[in-house]
Amino acid sequence: MNEHANILVTKLEKHVDQEAFNCVFSITLCALDIICETAMGKNIGAQSNGDSEYVRAVYRMSDMIHRRIKMPWFWLDLLYLMFKEGWEHKRGLKILHTFTNNGHDTTAAAINWTLYLLGYYPEVQKKVDNELDEIFGKSDRLATLEDLKKLKYLECVIKETLRLFPSVPFFARKITENCEVAGYKVWKGTEAVIIPYALHRDPKHFPDPEEFRPERFFPENSQGRHPYCYVPFSAGPRNCIGQKFAMMEEKTILSCVLRHFWVESNQKREELGLSGDLILRPTNGIWIKLKRRNTDKS
């Protein structure tokens, strides 16, 4: 992870003290490199070759899956394969099966949204900055597992980011027993769609829900909160099995980037635009400016 995070930092160096740039693609390629090497033991070099066949297949497949979900007549494989897009889907799937397409897009989205929010709320970024100083000082050493465990405030920042911008905008569950929700009877066997973006904005559990407050996730502030009012990784028997790995990866990349750069966001929240396909994405990208981080605190 550290190796790929450092490659990302090297790539970002050219943007220091320059105009705002869209960071989404760079972060996504870094996350893709990490999941392929970690899960499959294969270094695909996505950051070095962003136009590789594999990278193009990832993005094209995501687009085709989203389109297919919205077109019920394409749900039957036999019918789908009668069209050019069906064969393109089959070819793309062959490429992706060589490695894996799970686990990079959701993580990349979380990192991109976190960078945006830190750049938009400099007072929060300053607290992360102070935590990094406490743990790493002026050292440029690689982050260890013990270091990542100590990044408590950064973890709260990531959790609050996922509250506001959950990487997966919706997921489905089958109701296993008759129940009542908000006065409505829901029968056993009903297919329910859970929308974390809305669920996470319930003022009963998160007062002033549109405010970015990482302190919500301090242990003392989380006590008594309903366990299912916050589900960025889904919940129950079919929750995300990679959530601990995802948090570790997000901490690794973010700590590496923030040890080198100060981030400034170049968009207001209403200018981002949201696209809720397979992943919750900013329609207009995430545009940030980078400055060299001041490590001299004397």
Residue numbers in the known binding site for heme are 240
- Beta strands 261-265 and 171-174: pairing type? unpaired
Given the residues 74, 171, 233, 261, select the one marked as catalytic.
233
Given the residues 28, 30, 99, 106, select the one marked as catalytic.
106
- Known binding site: residues? 240
Given the residues 30, 156, 240, 256, select the one marked as catalytic.
240
- Listed residue (206, 211, 9) closest to 117, CA to CA: 211
Per the annotation, the verdict on 240 as an active-site residue is yes
Per the annotation, the verdict on 283 as an active-site residue is no
Please report how many Cα atoms fall inside a 13 Å half-sphere around the Cα of residue 112, on the Cβ side. 30
Beta-strand runs (E) in the chain: 21-22, 171-174, 179-181, 184-186, 191-194, 261-265, 274-276, 280-282, 287-292
Q: What token pair was written down for 191?
A: 């297919």
Taking the C-alpha atoms of residue 147 and residue 140, their distance in angstroms, rounded to an integer, is 13
Give CA torsion, residues 23, 25, 29, 35, to 10 deg: 90
Q: How far apart are the first and last CA of the chain?
A: 31
Q: What token pair was written down for 53?
A: 């066949």
- What is the DSSP-derived secondary structure letter of residue 204? T
CA angle 54, 65, 110 (to 5 degrees): 70
List active site positions.
106, 233, 240
